[in-house]
Amino acid sequence: MRYQFQSEHGNYSFKSHRFTNVIKALISINAALFLLRYLMVNQFDLLGLGLSSSPKLWQPVTYMFIHGDFFHIFMNMFVLWMFGTEMESIWGSRKFLRYYFVTGIGSGIIWLIFNYGNNYSVLIGASGAIYGILLAYGLMFPNRKVLIYFLFPIKVKYFVTILAAIAFISSIDRSGSNISHLTHLSGMIVGFLYLKFPNLKYKTSILVNRKIAESINRKSERKKANMISLQKKVDRLLDKVSTDGFNSLSDDEKDQLYMYSKRLGRDIKKD
């Protein structure tokens, strides 16, 4: 899939937009989860990225739909609507959604690599994907103008460059800010690589699929090893029962026999 970078259509990027299908769905989901999280405090913690020592499979996706406060979600959804609507209209819903998730998930994984094991750091919000969209818009319409604070006009290419520079400098500084500038920068980098090197995404997909397969195989091997170990423990206890009778087992050994047998039966049933 090759993306076409088009010529300018109008001098200013800010104009009335209709809500395209994906933009409407993304904003609706984010708004609904924000309200639910506000009403059900702490009930959505496991959707954030970095809240457990071993990240859950869904967290690199779900973290994108959780926001901290109203200003956080408002700015992300406003930029998504302002710049994403036209990108979806040009690319189509499927290609736009794919790009949105690639930049969002990719930036989240990069953040996780740099913060792995830090249980005091949590990542939430769609900013990685939003910055990826800003990067794509800047490549598509470099000479269009946006109004900073609705007052000061600046070309999109300079606007995006300034945002990238701020994200880069701030990600190096890391002076205790609750804004993940690393995620912003990562969203732009992932977006640039995805758009400029179309063959890279296929190679990356192959690598990711291979890593997933290796992870599944390792998990399967660990499960088999655990079952063999449990079976040996059960056999040892059963040998004692066969030789000296059930009453020869201590209370702890009886509990162990019951627990080990139950776990073996459950694992065999799942297989």
pLDDT in tens, 163-199: 888 888 877 765 556 678 888 899 999 999 998 887 7
Are 222 and 126 within one domain?
no
Are 122 and 253 within one domain?
no
For strand 145-148 and strand 152-155, is the pairing parallel, antiparallel, or unpaired? antiparallel
Are 51 and 168 within one domain?
yes
| Domain count of the fold of the chain | 2
- At residue 16 the predicted structure's pLDDT band, cuts being 50, 70 and 90, is very low
Report how far residue 191's alpha carbon sits from residue 98's, in angstroms, rounded to the nearest whole number: 11
Both tokens of 209, joined, read 């699929």
Residue found by looking up tokens 């200013």 in the block: 12
- At residue 17 the predicted structure's pLDDT band, cuts being 50, 70 and 90, is low
84 vs 24, 33, 255, CA distance in Å? 11, 20, 60
Are 170 and 43 within one domain?
yes
Report how far residue 230's alpha carbon sits from residue 215's, in angstroms, rounded to the nearest whole number: 22
pLDDT in tens, 66-81: 888 889 899 999 999 9
Both tokens of 263, joined, read 């776990």
Here the CATH number for the domain that contains residue 163 is 1.20.1540.10
Are 48 and 149 within one domain?
yes
Are 31 and 105 within one domain?
yes
pLDDT in tens, 41-66: 655 566 666 555 566 777 888 889 98
Are 52 and 144 within one domain?
yes
Answer whether residue 3 is part of any domain. Answer: no
Q: Comparing 18 with 6, which gets the higher pLDDT?
A: 18
Q: What is the mean pLDDT of residues 83-87?
A: 92
Amino acid at 111: W
Boundaries of domain holding 27: 21-196
Amino acid at 114: F
Report how far residue 187's alpha carbon sits from residue 181's, in angstroms, rounded to the nearest whole number: 10
Are 225 and 164 within one domain?
no
Both tokens of 221, joined, read 């091997």
